[in-house]
Structure 1
Amino acid sequence: MSTHGDVLHGLSRADFPACARSRPASCAPRRAGEHARRPRIRLGKRRGAEAENSAPDATRIHSRQLSAASHWPVAHAALPPDGGGGLGCAPAMSADEKTFPRDFTFGVATSAYQVEGGIENDWAEWERAGRLKEPHTRCGRAVDHWNRYEEDYGLAVDVGASAFRVSLEWARIEPERGRFDGAALEAYRERLLRMKARGLRPVVTLHHFTHPTWFHRETPWHTPASVDAFRAYVRACAPLLKGLEALLISLNEPMVVLLGGYLQGLLPPGFADGPKTMAALENMVRAHVAAREELQAVLGRVELGISQNMLCFTPDRWWHPLDHAAVRLGAHAYNHAFHEALVTGKLRVTMPGLASTRAEIPQARGSCEFIGVNYYSRAHLRFLPRYPFLAFQFRDRLGRGLTDIGWEDYPEGFGEILRETKRYGLPVWVTENGIDDRGGQRRPHFLHRHLEQVLAARAQGVDVRGYLYWSLLDNFEWLEGWGPRFGLYHVDFDTLERRPTPACAYFRAVAQGRRLIAPEALEAQPSAAR
């Protein structure tokens, strides 16, 4: 999940530009009478020559934000230097408004490479090439979910979850192009059936950042062959999904894959090429359509979407019109261009000085049943007069303290992002939201403030159906390696022992009680922790 932060930071803390919209933004608090502009984007940190040569505050996208985590958010109103106090917080709620309906889903999220272990793919090659922040870091056995899945399902049930997000590892299923491993397919089928038997609805991601080792050599995303390769992979996977009534995600955070892997060179395959980025973007939209066709042929009706990393963007200098323009452009490109293509069949991206595309893909129109939102933070954008033209930073302007990975804790932006999705007229699933909290004490309050935003958005007509916390377990966080800890359960990376953090009791109380409560209220109950 932390990958998106590194990628954004890499864009000089922002190599990503975007198509603009001129609607006012409300992500950031603003002064009375001041009009807000609303860009959205998800950013992270980036490595590379461009980042080194950019302004001193240029940043990279973080792996978690890339990945699950991994994301680019909403455009914010201009913020005066003092940060603007408590404006933008969720409105006060009545007792009834603090209640979640019975059909609202609470769940947890993971991805295959980050938790399963024993996988040989493009990320394993990237690690051996020394491309992580700590060059000798290896994912290796990860947290051994491949062998401990029954234990982990039990942990999810124990915190009150009724859904469990996993991904299928393409490299495990198709280690050589055209050769599909029947044992791997059968193993995934068995795991998903066991998940459902435990009362957990499967949420299945078909592609979560990683590729087989042959993919970038033979069918990289900027070539039309990538669509055929993805279609063949999904065709092989479709039968194992029969009868599961799973929520399906074709692609996780495609903009992070594109920005990090094709524009910045921070992620596999390591390209830094604007035209290739735009060609890859169009092919990923077409790959989603191909996946839908293959799934429908086997399953009939499907609930299919993508998970989009969405950042809440705000101008770094509230008084500078070009920072506002950067926010508007960035928000459209990073947060909305892909979903707009799936809803309208029109792909529009404008990245001044970098790359642009305008494509008609009529088959993509109406090709998703829900909007998947991955939200982690707010990003401050600054216009630069030279390449890459954008700088990105996480700032603590409200004095709440940055999270341990260095991101701003800004739940108000989450609410704004959710309200932004209302334009699509589709159900919304929060497919990732979480905090790197290595001490474990901040997470209950993080959950409270972000779930409060979910309830506020629902009260304002946003059809939010579920909330999946990232992550059930501490895990391997892409470029960040083993440092960040997003898990409801702390994992000892030496012994692989799972231990509950204080957030487990809070998540359980809300999920089982269907009611938002303050963490302090739970702490006052002697039986709260188990």
Structure 2
Amino acid sequence: MITRVLTAFGLIACLLSIPTAATAAPGVPPLPDSFLWGVASSGFQSEGAGPDSNWKRYAATKEPYGNGVDFRNRYPEDIALAAGMGLKVFRFGIEWARVQPTPGSWNETELAYYEDVVRRIRAAGMRPMITLDHWVYPGWVADRGGWSGAGVVSDWLTYARHVIHRLHGQGAYWITFNEPTAYVQQEVTNGGVNPLLIPLMFDRLVTAHRSVYDVIHQLDPGAPVSSNVAFIPAAEGLVDLAFWNRIADKLDYIGIDYYYGLSLDNWSAIHAAKGEFWKVDPQPDGIYHALRYYHDRRPGLPLYIVENGMSTDNGAPRADGHTRSEHLRDHVYWMQRARADGMNVIGYNYWSITDNYEWGSYRPRFGLYTVNAATDPALTRTPTDAVDTYRTIAASGGVPSSYTPVKRQSVCSLVTLLTSCLFPPRAP
């Protein structure tokens, strides 16, 4: 009964106190000069000309993959575009299938390519953020059963150790597995793992992360290591039981991917489950609650938004009129609020530097630079409105203290269940 009373009181308080779009937003201080502004990409989604892999096989039944956006050959251009915005971090992924085409061989051309990616990132004044596994593994691993195969952890660690040995000492931030929960979901959906073996795949991802965390610290001392979580509103505590809770002592920073919120006045995240990302009504204040959720769980660890972005439908203006610039400014504002409230947010990556293959379709467009991969053979990088906006944000340490978010604060965000209802953020 007491719980019900508190819940009702919290909901009423939230409804009465929530600001509207016209309410003056409280000022926020800028983020420090040390803050890491960055962009993100991944291997298979961007590189093109992919070798045999689980996702090369999955893509055969989806929208044609073609040549991706050809990051494999255009990486100098994309790195220069990021540097031109004054950014400090460039995230990219290593494709296991490229560097180890067969169990006993290493492709020196592809290893040299990744070495040059790192070299160019550093020469442009940025730090590399290197993802070891962004949901893709070689065809020969798939033939052995993928993550349900008997020797997959050993095979994966052999690959990871080889890559770390080649790329250590470059000031990198490391990501072991991209969004492990979504990784498992994709494998089940595409037939890579039997649903009955979901616990086994999680067990093996946990073992691999814990092992490679130690390997990175041996081969690349001082390099920060994480595994970025896909923040799932109202369910994160349950989802964390399978992976995050089991590797929390083997993290140097907490990597968070935040895209969608959930609140009493916004249930549109259901569209994301159907792949219609452009129909989701953005909820920028949810990023504050996501940061607070993990800050409260591990107060001593820095927080890094590894991915955040907004989809359009094939590059067309959104039906709600919301622009990429507005989306970016609003989320940065709430990060500044989080930092002002004592959360140690150290970095932010925009997903993504260019449009890419969104796991079966080119229709969702998340890029700062749009690319018509399905219709433009030249794969021209065309800047969106958010390019100049991001350049200004990075130079200024965020949005001005007088900034008022375009999207109003949600009515009782359910990102962290009742916490955000009972204890909504207040003016700093």
TM-score (norm 1): 0.67
Does the C-alpha gap of structure 1 residues 451 and 206 become closer, same or farther in structure 2, counting only changes over 3 Å?
same
Instruction: String of CA shifts for 1:447-469, please: whole Å, max 9, x gaps.
Output: 11111111111112111100000
Aligned-pair distance for 1:224?
5.1
Q: Does 1:271 align with 2:194?
A: yes
Q: Which amino acid in structure 1 is aligned with residue 37 of structure 2?
A: F
Instruction: String of CA shifts for 1:419-449, please: whole Å, max 9, x gaps.
Output: 0011212111100000013236611110111
Give, in whole Å, the separation in 2 of the partners of 1:89 and 1:196: 44
Equivalent residues of 1:427, 1:464 under 8 A apart = yes
Structure 1: state its 5+ residue gaps.
1-22, 25-29, 37-76, 314-329, 344-365, 382-391, 397-401, 522-530
Equivalent residues of 1:173, 1:185 under 8 A apart = yes
Equivalent residues of 2:31, 2:339 under 8 A apart = no
Q: Select 1:431's aligned residue among 282, 299, 306.
A: 306
Structure 2: state its 5+ residue gaps.
405-428
Q: Does 1:170 align with 2:96?
A: yes
Does the C-alpha gap of structure 1 residues 268 and 293 become closer, same or farther in structure 2, counting only changes over 3 Å?
farther
Give, in whole Å, the separation in 1 of the partners of 2:25 and 2:242: 33
Give, in whole Å, the separation in 2 of the partners of 1:258 and 1:182: 30
1 or 2, which has the higher strand percentage? 1
* Match in the other structure for 1:482: 362
SS of 1:446's equivalent? helix
* Match in the other structure for 1:281: 202
* Match in the other structure for 1:216: 142
Aligned-pair distance for 1:84?
9.7
Q: Select 1:119's aligned residue among 46, 50, 53.
A: 50
Q: How does 1:24-423 map to 2 (within 5 A)?
A: 32-34=9-11, 86=19, 92-94=25-27, 97-120=28-51, 121-128=53-60, 130=61, 132=62, 137-218=63-144, 220-223=146-149, 225-261=151-187, 265-273=188-196, 276-313=197-234, 330-335=235-240, 337-343=242-248, 366-379=249-262, 394=269, 405-422=278-295, 423=297
SS of 2:152's equivalent? helix
Q: Does 1:504 align with 2:387?
A: yes
Does the C-alpha gap of structure 1 residues 456 and 219 become closer, same or farther in structure 2, counting only changes over 3 Å?
same
Aligned-pair distance for 1:299?
1.8
Does the C-alpha gap of structure 1 residues 338 and 414 become closer, same or farther in structure 2, counting only changes over 3 Å?
same
Figure out how many residues of one structure are paired with residues of the other and give that number: 383
Instruction: String of CA shifts for 1:483-512, please: whole Å, max 9, x gaps.
Output: 011111111321211111111111100101
Aligned-pair distance for 1:367?
1.1
Q: Which amino acid in structure 2 is aligned with residue 92 of structure 1?
A: A
Give, in whole Å, the separation in 1 of the partners of 2:346 and 2:380: 32
Give, in whole Å, the separation in 1 of the partners of 2:402 and 2:366: 18
Q: Which amino acid in structure 2 is aligned with residue 285 of structure 1?
A: V
Give, in whole Å, the separation in 2 of the partners of 1:256 and 1:233: 22
Equivalent residues of 1:311, 1:379 under 8 A apart = no
Q: Select 1:513's aligned residue among 377, 396, 405.
A: 396
Instruction: String of CA shifts for 1:201-225, please: whole Å, max 9, x gaps.
Output: 1000000011111223325323552
Give, in whole Å, the separation in 1 of the partners of 2:326 and 2:179: 26
Give, in whole Å, the separation in 2 of the partners of 1:32 and 1:492: 50
Q: Does 1:452 align with 2:333?
A: yes
Does the C-alpha gap of structure 1 residues 270 and 90 become closer, same or farther in structure 2, counting only changes over 3 Å?
farther
Give, in whole Å, the separation in 2 of the partners of 1:505 and 1:403: 27
Instruction: String of CA shifts for 1:186-209, please: whole Å, max 9, x gaps.
Output: 211111111111111100000001
Question: RMSD of aligned C-alpha atoms?
Answer: 3.1
SS of 1:186's equivalent? helix
Q: Which amino acid in structure 2 is aligned with residue 487 of structure 1?
A: G
Q: Does 1:491 align with 2:374?
A: no
* Match in the other structure for 2:426: none
Aligned-pair distance for 1:342?
1.3
Does the C-alpha gap of structure 1 residues 430 and 33 become closer, same or farther in structure 2, counting only changes over 3 Å?
closer
TM-score (norm 2): 0.82
